Structure 1
Amino acid sequence: MKNGGKNKSVAFIILFGVYDKKMRDYLRSSECTSASICPASSATVQLPLFTKTLNSTHFSSEGQSHTFNFRYKFEKHTVACDTSKTVLDALNTNKIFRNIKKNNQNKEIVIQKSKGAVPRAAVKTDFPCCLIERHELLDISFIKNHGNVATKKETTRRLSFSNESKGFVIFYIKTKGGKKVKRLMKNNELRKKVEDVCVYAFKDDKLNAALRRDGRFINAIFKKQCVLYNLESETKYEMSKTAEHLDGKHFEIIVINDNNQPDSQDFALSDDGTEMNEASAADLKENVDHNEHPINTEQEETQKRTILRAQFKDLLEILKQRENLKNKTEIKKFFRAEYDKSVQSFLEVKKVKQLMKLSDSVCQIRVEGSARGTGFLRFILTNAHVVGEFDPFTRKLSKTFTAVFGYEDLEAKKTRCVPVKEHLAAYYHGNINTETYLDFALLELKDADEMADCPGLLSRYIHGPPPNRGGICIVGHPGEGVKKMDPCFIIGKENLQEAADKHISENVNFIHVMTQQSLAEKWEMHDNQIIYNTCFFHGSSGSPVFDEDCYLIGVHTGGYAYKGENCKTRSIMEYAYSMQPILDSIITQAKKSERSDILKLISEYKSFNLNLEDNDRPTSACMHCISF
């Protein structure tokens, strides 16, 4: 496992195509000798936006200019278009469009053409301007972004297209798959919005390369034996064929064989290989424009994953030789051991001690003596569904609540039971808007002094959006039992469909149960959700969720649950709601109810600036009672 004092382990996470630190370390190692794997003179692997070797005639530093129009909510605007750029480049030169985009942050843009063989087809933001006709009208709209495209403004490697459209072909694919295809698009909202998408490709591109680069299609179509079915000629085109003769044609994707393809077929992007020659790399370097408006990095990430997949077989052979692994079973055991180590890395002694201290503020919430959920200090923050019924006008609780601290073993000798005041301090259960959902209740202890020695968890909160990856730890009372913790990993929004598909494939007998449950409960995804897999179920609602650095990031709320074998509660995945919208709602309600003590408390933390007036500031005695 070690050589020269350096860990050269291949991380388990590479199985999912993630380019992580262990993989980079391994690629840099002296044992990585394959010329196709190790870069010749770089400390890191440089991955271009397009990995195929491109002829320099495909690019031009400056193109010709023409105009096109875009329409948003019935208003039309004109844009000057440099044909060597992308459609998003052109749109970003328009101030009105930039304002529209700013007002739709964290959403996925949909751009629909009005001309061509299939009008109303949607193009990607990197669609070349040279393929847009003069004075063509593009319809702009926005849909929920389910993690399929990057929304952060990051400067990426840019390509400048030639003003000649002769090197390209464009073809059209229906967003609803054909035979045996249940789901085709990564973002299901796109399927609902448009009937067809328009894909561009270089003439010598393989079809699978063009579709991977497009990035809107689910990975399953590259694992099964799928073909493009020409709706007019009823001809089937294999994914390994080039796109040269597909210009203007209209297809749907169908599955002709359900079996997974061999690694060589699944991973092969093109025959050109994954390395670029020096001339092409130089051309690309010259065309990097750091002053251009940033675009999404989805294509670049797709290419990284494709390169890693292409290298995977060679890496396995090297690994088998180095670790003396003889068969698939031994390989799986090795990767499982590496995975377990990655879980344990979250549990450093320093972090464990910190979590232990923070866990003192986590309590079990009991309703008239029966365990109902989990909460945390100093005001007791928990889920709204834990509280249940109350008077909507006075916010008076209908039952008696108690917060039980220190319930860590069945003997319960060191527990402290603190009564909860009969009125809610804050509460929200439902949609704030189309993208944000809240499920929280803020309870208040009758005697906060009794828990003065416990840390307030709000001090561990940093204002910001919910994370989309990394390790987390949940502390709570699952199953109405003693206090436990569960370290687990966030499922990135771009990987949600794969995670759901994996669970469903492992529980085929219960697909109909899942479907019925999802329809009954209207399972939805919201922007403020943090998704993960955990063993925490009933009784853990309201548990604090910490990130790898022990910062408070959310409140564990529930899961997409159904009844499995022997009526055991199962869940496809679980989720928390992030802290920021919760605290924003608490602040709004505290201002309305003139709870200056709550406002003062929150304003003490650097993440918030509420601009409180002097008469809003509570006395020190009041402050002592209500720190979170």
Structure 2
Amino acid sequence: YSAFMITWADENIIIQLGKEDKKSIVATHFPCSCIDDGECLIILYKTEKVEGEVQHHKIVHQKEHYSVFYIDTVGGLHTKTKELFKNNDVKQFKNLCVYGEKGITVAEALKTDGRFIDDLGNFKLSDNNNPKRLTVCTQKVKELHQKEFKICLPKVKKKTKHEKLQESPSNNSQSNCERRSESEIIYLARQEGIRVKTSRFPGDSFQKELNLRKENFGKIQQSFSQVYRVRKLLELGKSVCKVFVKDVSVGTGFVLFDTFILTSAHLFKGYVEGKELQQDVEVFAIFDYEEPEPEANFYCFRAENTFIDFDAELDYAVLELNPEGLLSKFGPLPDNGEACIIGHPAGRVKEMDPTFIIEIEKREQAAADYLSQYKKQLIINSLSDHVRKQGIEKILQGGHKAGKVGTYHTFMYHGASGSPVFNGLGKVFGLHTAGYTYGFTKEVESVIEYAHPLIMIFEKFKDGYGKPGRNTINNFCVFSKWTYAS
């Protein structure tokens, strides 16, 4: 018997944990310190490989060093058409018992396990006790101990008729033609971008246009070059922070008043249950992040997992922190004039972008001008359709949201959502939210960006939070009306 056992390779072995029929199985390299004294192990042999060859630690640590959790052999969302395991024999059992050192990620734990396929992709785990609570594959396994999960996969985009035709052998010539057409558009777009400076402006019109833009930009620079205004903005900028949603996203926020911090709701998309963050999601506010590491000397505060207020439509979230806020410095949404955004684009150190408000009646032309760098009408039409599908008409003249947002151009893209937007007098009037994007390459730009008015957010916040006995909010309501009127 022992001689026969020697011929069994680890890759062909299934080890059942416990006597309960078809319950849990462990990997052959499962640490013995995590197996209770007297526990029954049933060893089974399979002709096909069950477990891949993996590099695992030879040193076995104490059980406290590991997190042990269970993954069902029946998958969760969007797993019906994809195999999850290297050998389907494991599906005879309820779940796979998986382990990992507490410092590694879920993805690393499943790869080390060896029984899962190598290309699970960007999967998530849904908690069996609360299926709406999802754990991303980049999250640490520390918080998963003794919990049971199902693997969930991203939704697979259905192939369009166009894509199916491309795959058909009988339509090779048509497929190649269509592919050439698409690549030709991309090529033309890039070429037009290169030639724009010389082909767009005949004669001396480029210099005239340049002088006009210099004049407009000079006015903006003048507004924000006066020392007292810059000093005021830098002082107000102390309330601006980098918002770090661990293993999820990075954005910008600012202290509204008292202990409340305001940021964009979409930073937490997919991780909110009611008015609470999922249990394992951590949020930090980082202040004074103004110098690159290692010289950086910043302050980090952890936020509560319960939102004070949350609104997906206005795209804002209110969390709780300590520094002095900006509410006493807020003003109305301006129709035109100078503006300035302070934030952390792409998670970088704090930056400031002076710009100007684009009036409602000029928004459509501003967006069109931005796309006019592409001379070919085919390209402009394609980009315009892409922007239109995002709902840009809602903020253009006549749109139902035209008067509910402030618009401008800025280089503040990803990571700057939640930044405060100031007017020329140093009053914060908006929450930088998003833009209407386009682009043939991975570097996506916006034709126009917008902010939700702080006064509208505060009124919504007040309605939800201003209950009897909340003296702080009531006092600020009186104070803010005086500030707004001034």
TM-score (normalised: structure 1) = 0.40
Specify the alignment match of 1:528 in structure 2: 404
Supply the distance in 1 between the matched residues of 2:328 and 2:340 (Cα, whole angstroms).
Answer: 17
Supply the AA of the counterpart residue of 1:380.
Answer: I
Specify the alignment match of 1:516 in structure 2: 386
* Cα distance, 1:334 vs structure 2: 4.1
Specify the alignment match of 2:244 in structure 1: 366
Specify the alignment match of 2:420 in structure 1: 544
1:406 aligns with 2:276: no
Q: Which one of the candidate residues 357, 368, 372 is aligned to 2:235?
A: 357
Deviations 1:99-148 (A, max 9, x none): xxxxxxxxxxxxxxxxxxxxxxxxxxxxxxxxxxxxxxxxxxxxxxxxxx
Matches within 5 A, 1:449-460: 451=323, 455-460=324-329
Q: Secondary structure at the match of 2:479?
A: coil
Supply the distance in 2 between the matched residues of 1:344 and 1:520 (Cα, whole angstroms).
Answer: 32
Supply the distance in 2 between the matched residues of 1:349 and 1:461 (Cα, whole angstroms).
Answer: 21
Supply the AA of the counterpart residue of 1:501.
Answer: A
Specify the alignment match of 2:434 in structure 1: 558
Specify the alignment match of 2:340 in structure 1: 473
Supply the distance in 2 between the matched residues of 1:428 and 1:578 (Cα, whole angstroms).
Answer: 14
* Cα distance, 1:573 vs structure 2: 0.3
Specify the alignment match of 1:423 in structure 2: 306
Deviations 1:476-522 (A, max 9, x none): 01122111011101111111121122122223525314413532567
Q: Secondary structure at the match of 1:583?
A: helix
* Cα distance, 1:601 vs structure 2: 5.0
Deviations 1:170-197 (A, max 9, x none): xxxxxxxxxxxxxxxxxxxxxxxxxxxx
Specify the alignment match of 2:448 in structure 1: 573
Supply the distance in 1 between the matched residues of 2:411 and 2:329 (Cα, whole angstroms).
Answer: 24
Q: Secondary structure at the match of 1:354?
A: helix
* Cα distance, 1:456 vs structure 2: 1.7
Specify the alignment match of 1:489 in structure 2: 356
Q: Which blocks of at least 5 consecutive residues in structure 1 are unaligned?
A: 1-259, 261-325, 431-437, 610-628
Contact 2:275-2:310 within 8 A present in 1 as well:
no
Matches within 5 A, 1:108-127: none
Specify the alignment match of 2:330 in structure 1: 461
Deviations 1:261-294 (A, max 9, x none): xxxxxxxxxxxxxxxxxxxxxxxxxxxxxxxxxx
Supply the AA of the counterpart residue of 1:402.
Answer: F
Change (3 A) 1:402 1:340: same
* Cα distance, 1:327 vs structure 2: 5.6
* Cα distance, 1:343 vs structure 2: 2.0
Supply the AA of the counterpart residue of 1:519.
Answer: K
Supply the distance in 2 between the matched residues of 1:530 and 1:496 (Cα, whole angstroms).
Answer: 10
Identity %: 30
* Cα distance, 1:570 vs structure 2: 1.1
1:338 aligns with 2:193: no
Contact 1:364-1:371 within 8 A present in 2 as well:
no
Specify the alignment match of 1:380 in structure 2: 261
Supply the distance in 2 between the matched residues of 1:329 and 1:394 (Cα, whole angstroms).
Answer: 53
Counting matched residue pairs gives 268
Supply the AA of the counterpart residue of 2:221.
Answer: Q
* Cα distance, 1:335 vs structure 2: 3.6
Q: Which blocks of at least 5 consecutive residues in structure 2 are unaligned?
A: 1-199, 396-400
Supply the distance in 1 between the matched residues of 2:307 and 2:237 (Cα, whole angstroms).
Answer: 23
Matches within 5 A, 1:291-330: none
Change (3 A) 1:531 1:395: same
Change (3 A) 1:327 1:538: closer
* Cα distance, 1:389 vs structure 2: 3.6
Supply the distance in 2 between the matched residues of 1:604 and 1:575 (Cα, whole angstroms).
Answer: 28
Q: Secondary structure at the match of 1:537?
A: coil
1:395 aligns with 2:265: no
Contact 1:383-1:441 within 8 A present in 2 as well:
yes
* Cα distance, 1:588 vs structure 2: 0.7
1:506 aligns with 2:373: yes
Supply the distance in 1 between the matched residues of 2:390 and 2:425 (Cα, whole angstroms).
Answer: 38
Q: CA RMSD in A?
A: 2.8
Contact 1:590-1:598 within 8 A present in 2 as well:
no
Supply the distance in 2 between the matched residues of 1:427 and 1:608 (Cα, whole angstroms).
Answer: 26
Change (3 A) 1:428 1:568: same
Supply the distance in 2 between the matched residues of 1:547 and 1:480 (Cα, whole angstroms).
Answer: 24
Change (3 A) 1:397 1:605: farther
Change (3 A) 1:335 1:386: same
Matches within 5 A, 1:44-443: 331-332=208-209, 334-347=211-224, 348-368=226-246, 371-377=249-255, 378-393=259-274, 395-398=276-279, 399-411=281-293, 413-430=296-313, 438-443=314-319
Contact 2:249-2:268 within 8 A present in 1 as well:
no
* Cα distance, 1:567 vs structure 2: 2.3
Supply the AA of the counterpart residue of 1:535.
Answer: F
Q: Secondary structure at the match of 1:360?
A: helix
Q: Secondary structure at the match of 1:424?
A: coil
Change (3 A) 1:444 1:371: same
